[in-house]
């Protein structure tokens, strides 16, 4: 079921109805009138409501949810360890790719990092696809090339929709990206002053203002931009939103040096630091919580500590009471009972000449620290990324302004887990993939990456072109290969998938258009240049199965059987396959099985195959394409 319909179904099942699509198949859809009735006066028609609008916003939303006749085709030649890797490198326009990943990766991605074009006046972006009404028709046709694909055009600031086009571009993609974030996931978006304020408002709408985590400020150009007027700008931003803010807990590990500075005391139980036990600031006065105001007694010679009524007037003890501010009585953060049960963790130290009560916090309890909102130049400086790429490519500057590996690693480190999927759908030189591999090799993690990049052509006068790279995907893939070769015991492979038209022929030809040749074409429903692997991946997309799982190819009696994710889906797309092959496949008890029309020599063979599965593997979902 479509994920949007599933969501509505969960909350308002009465709105979900069954109807038929144009092929007559049953499908779920929404009775909007019923939904309207349920929402009642919570529906607003007020044109003056607080919201962020721009020219083309509605079209961008429609565009995001418009269905496409496309697929992802595996490319074995440019992949590395195709069968076993759990990483993906996807080539194509990210809007289409995000659409195709909606089901397979619904709520499966824990961290998305993107570095979209900043809209500096020279960026190339895909223009919004406007509705084909009469006024905009002329403009709209200019947005598509001769193959019906949207054109990749320079967005110059003389364009009257300069900001609107950028907003539409990012809005449609973020709408789709949000669906992919897991409930404990977060998205990080690099940006600068050109679009930061617009992006913030769009993110507030798409992710919800309450899920805003931070607007990181990055010291990306410590020497300041040379070309700026009035102010020499040193910083850029990275906006971060959680899918659900209460589900995330960002912490980063302290370095060895930070740890030894922080846990500078030690006792028989290990290194510790002293944390005050009196409450400061709001809620810290005696009258705020009177039960937490009581005396504690300390013997400086024996170091013995007695809590409140434990003290019976023994000699050598001094009385300590909590103060909020000078002359204002305060309160402790621990109760009497807690202090008694945690007595070994109590310590009294002299602070500014006065004895004060603290607790020991041991290094063994260290969980990490909250990340700061300002990111230093040592990881944020733009130059670092450039130098890294130059080093990888034998001194050639094949990519402009990549991020540094440590910059992306910094965000990956916010997440305590080390086994999750990271996605970057403006992946450029694939710094994010590099960072994932590097961090995995450092901490033995099992993070996986999904890179998406348009095969944007390298101009002939560019260093990239002169170094033999025709498009940016070639640079990204080569970087992963080269960077990966430095790491051992990690998954440094990647499965390349390329966006293309669907594997299926267009069979919706009107009788007038039907020529003898076309009729011949229609006999086979699958395009002649498509391989069994192409068909497998389109099935995975249709069935909403993740695309980065293990694949095994098995030969049985001359037929090739594709076994995806240990029996999650088994397929054979050979022609006229034998009964024993079908039985062999059924003996594996797969969750799903797929054949193509031509797999069977006749209708009765097809029916027999279904019967074989019913008999030997009754729970298998059976499909013929
Ligand atoms: C600023 S760069 C990202 C650089 C990257 N963070 C790095 O460190 O190398 C933006 C990238 O997004 C790509 N891009 C732009 N529009 C795209 C689209 N519609 N689909 C996929 N990639 C796109 C551009 O080709 C460019 O490589």
Q: Using one digit for the tens of pLDDT, what is the confidence trace for 176-193?
A: 999 999 999 999 999 999
| Selection from 170, 174, 176, 188 nearest residue 111 by Cα | 188
Distance, CA of 9 to chain centre: 25
**pLDDT value at 140 more than 60:** no
Closest protein CA for atom 27 of ligand 1 = 428
Q: Using one digit for the tens of pLDDT, what is the confidence trace for 452-467?
A: 999 999 999 999 999 9
Which region, left, alpha or beta, applies to residue 58 given φ > 0 means left and ψ of -120 to 50 means alpha? alpha
Stretch (H or E) spanning 8: helix 3-11
Residue 389 token pair: 């790429």
| Selection from 100, 173, 176, 182 nearest residue 541 by Cα | 100
Domain-embedded: residue 505: no
The rounded Å distance from CA 126 to ligand 1 centre is 12
Tell me, what's the pLDDT at 234?
Answer: 95
Residue 33 token pair: 């009138």
Tell me, what's the pLDDT at 131?
Answer: 41
The rounded Å distance from CA 426 to ligand 1 centre is 4
Mean per-residue pLDDT for 279-296? 96
Count the helices and strands in the chain (H runs, E runs): 19, 28
- Within 10 angstroms of residue 445's Cβ, the number of other Cβ atoms is 17
Query: CA-CA distance, 217 to 192, in Å (whole number)?
Result: 10
Query: CA-CA distance, 465 to 458, in Å (whole number)?
Result: 6
148 band by pLDDT with thresholds 50, 70 and 90: low
127 band by pLDDT with thresholds 50, 70 and 90: low
356 band by pLDDT with thresholds 50, 70 and 90: very high
Query: CA-CA distance, 280 to 372, in Å (whole number)?
Result: 22
| Candidate from 387, 425, 426, 479 with most ligand 1 atoms within 8 A of CB, to mutate | 426
Closest protein CA for atom 16 of ligand 1 = 125
Query: CA-CA distance, 491 to 359, in Å (whole number)?
Result: 44
Query: CA-CA distance, 350 to 344, in Å (whole number)?
Result: 18
The rounded Å distance from CA 24 to ligand 1 centre is 41
The rounded Å distance from CA 48 to ligand 1 centre is 36
* Average pLDDT of the residues of the chain: 91
Q: Which one-letter DSSP state was computed for residue 229?
A: S
Mean per-residue pLDDT for 376-396? 96
**pLDDT value at 265 more than 50:** yes
Tell me, what's the pLDDT at 132?
Answer: 43
| Candidate from 117, 122, 192 with most ligand 1 atoms within 8 A of CB, to mutate | 117
Domain-embedded: residue 111: yes
323-326: long-range contacts, CB 8 A cutoff, minimum separation 24: 323/278, 324/278, 324/279, 324/280, 324/284, 324/285, 324/286
Of 342, 362, 382, the residue that ends a domain is 362
**Based on the domain organization, do 447 and 479 belong to the same domain?**
yes
The rounded Å distance from CA 414 to ligand 1 centre is 24
**Based on the domain organization, do 299 and 206 belong to the same domain?**
no
The rounded Å distance from CA 408 to ligand 1 centre is 15
Domain that holds residue 22: 1-49
Query: CA-CA distance, 33 to 39, in Å (whole number)?
Result: 10
Of 437, 467, 500, the residue that ends a domain is 500
Query: CA-CA distance, 493 to 87, in Å (whole number)?
Result: 7
What CATH number corresponds to the domain at position 76? Answer: 3.40.50.150
Query: CA-CA distance, 305 to 348, in Å (whole number)?
Result: 8
Query: CA-CA distance, 224 to 87, in Å (whole number)?
Result: 37
Q: Using one digit for the tens of pLDDT, what is the confidence trace for 430-483?
A: 999 999 999 999 999 999 999 999 999 999 999 999 999 999 999 999 999 999
Q: Which one-letter DSSP state was computed for residue 439?
A: H
> What atom of ligand 1 comes closest to residue 424's alpha carbon?
6
252 band by pLDDT with thresholds 50, 70 and 90: very high
The rounded Å distance from CA 393 to ligand 1 centre is 19
**Based on the domain organization, do 36 and 58 belong to the same domain?**
no
Q: Using one digit for the tens of pLDDT, what is the confidence trace for 33-88?
A: 888 877 887 777 777 778 899 989 999 999 999 999 999 999 999 999 999 999 99
Domain-embedded: residue 605: yes
Query: CA-CA distance, 528 to 542, in Å (whole number)?
Result: 20
Q: Using one digit for the tens of pLDDT, what is the confidence trace for 587-618?
A: 999 999 999 999 998 999 999 999 999 999 99
Domain-embedded: residue 551: yes
Closest protein CA for atom 2 of ligand 1 = 428
**Based on the domain organization, do 473 and 542 belong to the same domain?**
no
Domain-embedded: residue 506: no
The rounded Å distance from CA 430 to ligand 1 centre is 9
First to last CA, the chain: 19
142 band by pLDDT with thresholds 50, 70 and 90: low
- Ligand 1 pocket, Cβ-based, cut-off 6 angstroms: 93-94, 115, 117, 125-126, 385, 399, 402-403, 426, 428-429, 431, 452-454, 456, 472
Cβ contacts of residue 476 below 8 Å, gap of 6+?
Answer: 89, 427, 428, 429, 430, 433, 451, 453
The rounded Å distance from CA 428 to ligand 1 centre is 4
Tell me, what's the pLDDT at 434?
Answer: 98
CB distance 355 to 348 below 8 Å: yes
Residue 290 token pair: 């009177």
Write down the H helix ranges in 268-404.
Answer: 336-341, 377-380, 382-392
User: Could you identify the residue written with the tokens 């391989």?
Assistant: 531
Query: CA-CA distance, 171 to 55, in Å (whole number)?
Result: 12
Q: Do the bridges between strand 495-501 and strand 270-276 make them parallel or antiparallel, or are there none, so unpaired?
A: unpaired
Angstrom CA distances, 152 to 120, 169, 172, 197, 531, stand at 16, 11, 16, 24, 29
Closest protein CA for atom 3 of ligand 1 = 428
**Based on the domain organization, do 209 and 313 belong to the same domain?**
no
| Selection from 414, 417, 498 nearest residue 454 by Cα | 498
What is the phi/psi pair of residue 20, to 5°?
A: -110, 145
3-state secondary structure of 184: strand
CB distance 309 to 297 below 8 Å: no
**Based on the domain organization, do 527 and 493 belong to the same domain?**
no
Distance, CA of 135 to chain centre: 38
Query: CA-CA distance, 582 to 600, in Å (whole number)?
Result: 10
**Based on the domain organization, do 119 and 72 belong to the same domain?**
yes
**Based on the domain organization, do 485 and 473 belong to the same domain?**
yes
**Based on the domain organization, do 210 and 122 belong to the same domain?**
yes
Distance, CA of 200 to chain centre: 18
3-state secondary structure of 100: helix
Domain-embedded: residue 460: yes
212 band by pLDDT with thresholds 50, 70 and 90: very high
Domain-embedded: residue 33: yes
Mean per-residue pLDDT for 506-516? 65
**Based on the domain organization, do 91 and 206 belong to the same domain?**
yes
Residue 450 token pair: 């999904």
228 band by pLDDT with thresholds 50, 70 and 90: confident
**Cβ-based burial of 62 (10 A; exposed 0-12, middle 13-18, buried ≥19):** middle
Of 17, 34, 49, the residue that ends a domain is 49
Residue 43 token pair: 């529906």
Closest protein CA for atom 14 of ligand 1 = 426
508 band by pLDDT with thresholds 50, 70 and 90: low
Could you please report the per-residue DSSP string of 146-209? Answer: TTSPBPEEE--TTSTTHHHHHHHHHHHHHHHHHHHEEEEEEEEEEE-TTTHHHHHHHHIIIIIG
Cβ contacts of residue 344 below 8 Å, gap of 6+?
Answer: 269
**pLDDT value at 137 more than 60:** no
The rounded Å distance from CA 566 to ligand 1 centre is 34
> What atom of ligand 1 comes closest to residue 93's alpha carbon?
20
The rounded Å distance from CA 403 to ligand 1 centre is 11
Bridge partners (DSSP) of residue 238 are 190, 216
Q: Do the bridges between strand 70-74 and strand 16-20 make them parallel or antiparallel, or are there none, so unpaired?
A: unpaired
Domain-embedded: residue 284: yes
398 band by pLDDT with thresholds 50, 70 and 90: very high
CB distance 98 to 177 below 8 Å: yes
| Candidate from 435, 453, 478, 480 with most ligand 1 atoms within 8 A of CB, to mutate | 453
**Based on the domain organization, do 287 and 382 belong to the same domain?**
no
Closest protein CA for atom 8 of ligand 1 = 402
Query: CA-CA distance, 6 to 12, in Å (whole number)?
Result: 10
Mean per-residue pLDDT for 81-97? 97
Distance, CA of 541 to chain centre: 18
**Based on the domain organization, do 41 and 57 belong to the same domain?**
no
| Selection from 604, 606, 577, 594 nearest residue 526 by Cα | 594
User: Could you identify the residue written with the tokens 């510790």?
Assistant: 272
User: Number of structural domains, the chain?
Assistant: 4
**pLDDT value at 21 more than 90:** no
CB distance 85 to 421 below 8 Å: no
Q: Using one digit for the tens of pLDDT, what is the confidence trace for 523-573?
A: 678 899 999 999 999 999 999 999 999 999 999 999 999 999 999 999 999
Tell me, what's the pLDDT at 386?
Answer: 96
């Amino acid at each position: 079921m479509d994920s949007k319909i599933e969501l509505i179904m969960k909350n308002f099942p009465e709105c979900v109805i069954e109807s038929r699509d144009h092929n007559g198949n049953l499908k779920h859809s929404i009775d909007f009138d019923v939904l309207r009735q349920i929402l009642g006066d919570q529906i607003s028609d007020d044109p003056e409501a607080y919201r962020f609008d721009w020219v083309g916003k509605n079209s961008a939303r429609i565009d995001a949810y418009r269905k496409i006749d496309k697929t992802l085709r595996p490319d074995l030649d440019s992949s590395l360890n195709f069968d076993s890797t759990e990483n993906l490198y996807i080539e194509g326009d990210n809007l289409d790719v995000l659409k195709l990943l909606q089901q397979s990766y619904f709520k499966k991605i824990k961290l998305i990092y993107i570095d979209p074009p900043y809209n500096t006046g020279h960026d190339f972006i895909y223009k919004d696809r406007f509705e084909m009404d009469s006024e905009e028709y002329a403009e709209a046709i200019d947005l598509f090339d001769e193959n019906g694909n949207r054109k990749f055009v320079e967005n110059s600031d003389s364009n009257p929709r300069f900001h609107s086009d950028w907003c539409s571009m990012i809005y449609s993609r973020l709408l789709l990206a949000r669906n992919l974030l897991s409930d404990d996931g977060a998205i990080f978006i690099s940006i600068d002053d050109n679009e930061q304020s617009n992006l913030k408002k769009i993110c507030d709408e798409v992710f919800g203002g309450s899920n805003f985590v931070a607007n990181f400020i990055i010291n990306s150009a410590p020497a300041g931009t040379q070309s700026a007027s009035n102010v020499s700008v040193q910083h850029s931003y990275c906006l971060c939103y959680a899918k659900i803010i209460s589900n995330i807990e960002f912490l980063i590990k302290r370095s060895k040096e930070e740890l030894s500075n922080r846990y500078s005391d030690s006792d028989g139980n290990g290194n510790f630091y002293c944390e005050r036990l009196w409450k400061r600031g709001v809620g810290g006065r005696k009258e705020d919580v009177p039960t937490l105001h009581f005396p504690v007694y300390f013997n400086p010679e024996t170091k013995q500590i007695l809590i409140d009524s434990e003290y019976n007037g023994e000699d050598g003890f001094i009385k300590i009471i909590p103060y909020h501010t000078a002359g204002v009585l305060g309160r402790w953060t621990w109760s009497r009972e807690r202090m008694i049960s945690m007595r070994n963790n109590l310590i009294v130290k002299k602070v500014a000449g006065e004895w004060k009560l603290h607790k020991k916090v041991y290094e063994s309890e260290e969980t990490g620290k909250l990340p700061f909102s300002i990111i230093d130049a040592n990881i944020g400086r733009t130059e670092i990324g450039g130098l890294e790429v130059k080093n990888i490519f034998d001194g050639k500057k094949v990519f402009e302004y990549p991020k540094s590996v440590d910059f992306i690693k910094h965000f990956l480190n916010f997440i305590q887990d080390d086994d999750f999927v990271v996605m970057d759908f403006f992946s450029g030189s694939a710094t994010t993939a590099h960072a994932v591999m590097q961090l995995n090799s450092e901490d033995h993690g099992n993070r996986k990456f999904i890179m998406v990049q348009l095969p944007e052509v390298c101009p002939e006068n560019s260093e990239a072109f002169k170094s033999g790279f025709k498009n940016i995907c070639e640079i990204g893939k080569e970087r992963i290969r080269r960077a990966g070769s430095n790491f051992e015991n990690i998954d440094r492979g990647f499965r390349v998938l390329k966006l293309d038209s669907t594997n299926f022929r267009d069979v919706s030809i009107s009788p007038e258009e039907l020529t003898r040749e076309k009729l011949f074409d229609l006999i086979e429903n699958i395009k002649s240049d498509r391989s069994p692997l192409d068909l497998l991946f389109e099935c995975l997309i249709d069935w909403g199965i993740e695309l980065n799982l293990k694949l095994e190819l098995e030969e049985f009696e001359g037929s090739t059987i594709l076994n995806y994710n240990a029996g999650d889906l088994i397929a054979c797309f050979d022609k006229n396959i034998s009964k024993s092959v079908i039985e062999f496949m059924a003996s594996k008890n797969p969750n799903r099985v797929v054949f193509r029309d031509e797999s069977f020599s006749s209708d009765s063979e097809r029916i027999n195959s279904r019967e074989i599965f019913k008999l030997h593997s009754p729970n298998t979902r059976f499909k013929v394409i």
